[in-house]
Amino acid sequence: MKTVAFFDTKPYDKESFERYKSEDINIRFFENKLNADTVSMAACCDAVCAFVNDSIDSYVLEQLEKFGVGLITMRCAGYNNVDLKAARGRVKIARVPAYSPYAVAEHSMGMILLLNRKLHRAYIRTRDHNFSLEGLTGFDLYGKTVGIIGTGKIGRSFADICRGFGMNILGFDPYPTDEFCGKYVSLDELLSQSDIISLHCPLTKENLHLINNETIEKMKKGVFIINTSRGKLIDTQALINGLKSGRVGAAGLDVYEEETELFFEDFSEEIIKDDTLSTLISMPNVIVTSHQAFLTREALDAIAQTTIKNLEDYFSGSELENEVVI
């Protein structure tokens, strides 16, 4: 029987993987994130399963190679937290390229509706028996222009939702597809024409801090910015500057560039020492969720099924369909 170390796991991970586990695979669930301090927990394991905020750098990869670990299977689509250069020749990397694009797309639209119609503020008011509507005015989404950066499966699912609202849809992607229901334009055109901008692209060296002081200055005054992809697509201080100046009207963030030590954990009894995140959370026109967009039953099931298949394919010597080509 093969043994796999699952890092950064929560109860909902265990529930879904228990439903789809293989009799030939022994899973060791660890709550700890995979990093230089915890990599020793993978000793005597044949493979490792990691998540979005694990730190898989050259040291971690070197140690895994010493332990005889031949595969790291990411239970997510992204793998920007893996040092691919250091992984080459040491360990195979697999991922879950698609689990539920609808989950993330629907979360993105939920954030837009919440911010636009001030539902978060209305909820708190009515619980205090305050039924005033003052300050809760939103705008019709019908006829507004949404700019979608990244038109993969999630971006296209989000575009379909926006089409249902009667919105004008613009898209920017280095790799356009005929399956996108909107109009492709240049990035500058998208920035200048969009009432709402939603990010649905992977993080690469080329798009690090894609949203920055310069690009925000090109946007419409009052633009909404939604990010359910990767935190480092946005220069957070530039976003705060934009919010303070009024150039950015609202922001919905399911990811944050310094989220690694914070998201997925409970700090409700502590003082958050990250002043930047505290500033964002304090703003009435900002919604922060803790990397929650993927969290639906359907997505968890798909992640479990694909991850188990990745492990079974690797251990059986079959073609690793979801391998990241290094």
- Give me the active site residues, please: 230, 259, 291
- Spatial separation of the C-alpha atoms in residues 203 and 282, rounded to whole Å: 27
Chain length of the chain? 326
What separation in angstroms does the CA of 309 have from each of 167, 222, 300?
39, 46, 14
* CA angle at 229 for the pair 225 and 234, rounded to the nearest 5°: 50
What is the C-alpha radius of gyration for the chain, rounded to an integer number of angstroms? 21
32 CB-contact burial (10 Å; exposed 0-12 / middle 13-18 / buried 19+) = middle
Dihedral angle at the C-alpha atoms of 225, 228, 229, 230, nearest 10 degrees?
A: 80
- Spatial separation of the C-alpha atoms in residues 312 and 306, rounded to whole Å: 10
Name the nearest CA neighbour of 200 among 257, 151, 256: 151
DSSP letter at 95 equals -
Q: Is the dihedral of CA 203, 206, 208, 210 positive or negative?
A: negative
- Spatial separation of the C-alpha atoms in residues 217 and 245, rounded to whole Å: 10
143 CB-contact burial (10 Å; exposed 0-12 / middle 13-18 / buried 19+) = exposed
